[in-house]
Chain A
Amino acid sequence: MLRPSFTQGSQILLLAVALVLPLLAGPYWIHVGAIAWYYALLAASWAMLAGYAGQFSFAHVAFAALGGYASALCAGQLGFPLPLAIMAAILLAAVVGALIGALVLRLSGPYLALFTLAISEIFRLVLVAEEDVTRGMQGLPVPGLFPGRSDTPYYYLGLGLVVLALGAMNVLLATRVGLFVRAIREDEGAARASGVDTTRYKILVFVVTSVIAAAAGVYYGHFIGILTPNIAILPEMGLVIAMAVIGGIESLTGAVIGAAVVFLLSESLRSYGEWRFVLMGLALILVQRFAQNGLFPALEQLGRRRAGPRPAASAMEEPSDG
């Protein structure tokens, strides 16, 4: 089974485009781009969890909420300095990720999906109910990271986080861990029989992806300046799933592109109201039905085939795809 992946050339080209974009765009689109990086972090890490490791989790946005709220509460109510508050939030996410990863070891497929859906709902409902601590639906104010009102520093921070997260996940997947994780997805029993410590690697994937989701939540909270429990509602999870699946659930870069394209499209089509999400639901079903590996890997394969034996040419054709 050949897994479609993006060439290095096309990835560097996309990164260059992302780097110069704020110089050309107005403040509104820089703001939109900075939010897109939040979704890109979530979609890519969810793609690793669900696509590579086959652990279909509905709790990913709940981890973003956990990170965001933890950092905001540590900085606000407990008076931690910001860097310490952020570290505490990340550490908490790692611990909770390990805990949930250990709890769901025996669950798979729809059982895992239902379990994580329930965990996510419980956490969201606690955020709604415990108004004394979280301020409930009124929203929790979060201190900013940078002085001034410009969104540009956040845009570059978000972009940096995406590059960092992609790099870390790719390095991890390029080692034996990636092989083990895929072996577990294909047949857990066979993997264990071949001597893979399935427990260890399943929990590891859960911890890594939960930490990235929490980092995304921390970034989002400090950037937007207010958090409500709605960050973890099911439609938000749906958005992340749609982004990852449309972009390519087995390609981390594909998921990032999916997140950016879906979010930018949904912002630029604002005047069409809910039709955008009708379209997104339809796209989700159609992509899953006809191009299971996602739209962008499929497009890239097409481009590569058209370019024929000259691999250098395929890199040149990428921008029109992304």
Chain B
Amino acid sequence: MSYFLLLAVNGLVIGLIFALVASGLTLVFSVLKVVNFGHGSLYMLGGYASYYLITALGLPSLAGVAGAMIALFLFGVVFERLVIAPMYTDRVERKDEYAIIVTFGLTILLTNLGLVVFGPFAKSPPSFMAGALIFGPLILPYDRLIAAIVAVVLLVGLTVFLKRTALGQALDAVSQSRESAAVIGIDPRRMYTVAFGLGSALAGGAGALIAPIFALSPSMGDLPAVQAFIIIVLGGMGSVGGSIAGGILLGLVQGLGVGYLPDPNRALAYTQAFGALLLVVTLLLRPTGLFGRSHLRLE
């Protein structure tokens, strides 16, 4: 039982980080109708940004996380303006393919740039807080606890922002209909930029939060990116609430799967494959996802 609890709590922490990555991907998808295949590399970039803010500039750990989110927001805004925005002009044919190729190109570019600039060896920023919370049989390192708490704060903040603020409602309006939003005076182009910046910031924040728990490496974003794809399909493309639920669910399933399946090599491979299988089945049987909003279908 205590083993189960340990696995479940760790799965929950990882699930919250997944949810954070996926909510950024969802935000970008719902507003721009673009799946950002470079999302994982932004997660990686966020991790390194906070590492250098903390170790080189001597910022406190949580300020490093905040700084990484700001840096990634700016990066996302610039990338959207320079590379994605031309998609909405007539000069670009095959818009779907364009978006996939440039964002996937970003992954190739950033992952390899990471290898050259940051080096292939794992780096670890200092802990948020040394030690662990011991509660009966449950041992939870403070790093994980703090990452989980910050992730929850960010997810709640995002939800409130989207529901209660004018900018958030404008984003939601564009996600529902570009044309209608434009009619009531919202500039969709501006919302695309804001959404891509926020999505990048959320990925970067997740990378910065995970940094003290798992070490940083240039390819650290590959796996969370695939997980985020799975989550947003499961949660219904474009539904932020759905990605939060999907993220936590996937984290739990994988945490428990690795712990309970007999052969560790197979367990690791098949818990990952299981997520991918969920994606495949969901797309085939219920393309709006488990928690999807039907108006967000692209087809």
Contacts and interface: CB of A to CB of B under 8 A. Distances in A.
Contacts of B158: none
Contact of B102 (A111, A128, A235, A285): A285
Interface stretch (A64-72, A118-126, A311-319): A118-126
A113 B101 contact: no
Interface residues of B, number: 48
A288 B98 contact: yes
Nearest to A137: B265
A107 interface: yes
B27 to A, nearest CB: 15
B266 interface: yes
A119 B280 contact: yes
A18 B181 CA distance: 56
A277 B112 contact: yes
Interface residues of A, number: 44
Contacts of A274: 112-113, 115-116
Nearest to A106: B299
B284 interface: yes
A266 to B, nearest CB: 11
Interface stretch (B4-12, B244-252, B270-278): B270-278
Interface in B73-97: 83, 86, 92-94, 96-97
A107 to B, nearest CB: 6
A213 B4 CA distance: 44
A109 interface: yes
Contacts of A56: 96-97, 100
Nearest to A185: B94
Nearest to B84: A289
A284 B111 CA distance: 14
B266 A129 contact: yes
Contacts of A277: 108, 111-112
A41 to B, nearest CB: 20
Contacts of A121: 226, 272-273, 276
A162 B246 CA distance: 44
A209 B67 CA distance: 47
Contacts of A126: 269, 273
Q: Give the one of B35, B107, B276 with max A CB within 10 A.
A: B276
A289 B106 CA distance: 12
Contact of B83 (A114, A119, A128, A289): A289
A284 B103 CA distance: 10
A195 interface: no
A11 to B, nearest CB: 25
B92 A292 contact: yes
Interface in B256-299: 265-266, 269-270, 272-273, 276-277, 279-280, 283-284, 287, 298-299
B265 A114 contact: no
Contacts of B65: none
Interface string A236-269: 0010011001000100000000000000000000
Contact of B280 (A54, A115, A136, A245): A115
Nearest to B97: A56
Interface in A49-98: 50, 54, 56
A63 to B, nearest CB: 16
B172 interface: no
Interface string B95-130: 011111110111111111101100000000000000
A274 B110 CA distance: 11
A124 to B, nearest CB: 9
A121 B108 CA distance: 18
B230 interface: yes
A13 interface: no
B276 A235 contact: no
B34 interface: yes
A308 B298 CA distance: 45
A125 to B, nearest CB: 4
B187 interface: no
Contact of B116 (A128, A136, A273): A273
Contacts of A284: 101-102, 104-105, 108-109
Interface string B23-62: 0000001000011010000000000000000000000000
Contacts of A288: 98, 101-102, 105
20 contacts: A50-B97, A56-B100, A107-B283, A110-B99, A113-B35, A115-B280, A117-B229, A119-B276, A122-B277, A125-B270, A277-B108, A278-B112, A281-B106, A282-B109, A284-B102, A284-B104, A284-B109, A285-B102, A285-B109, A292-B94
Given A106-B287, A107-B287, A281-B109, 4 more contacts: A113-B35, A114-B279, A234-B222, A277-B108
- The list of the 4 closest CB pairs from A to B, nearest first, reads A281-B109, A281-B108, A109-B96, A129-B269
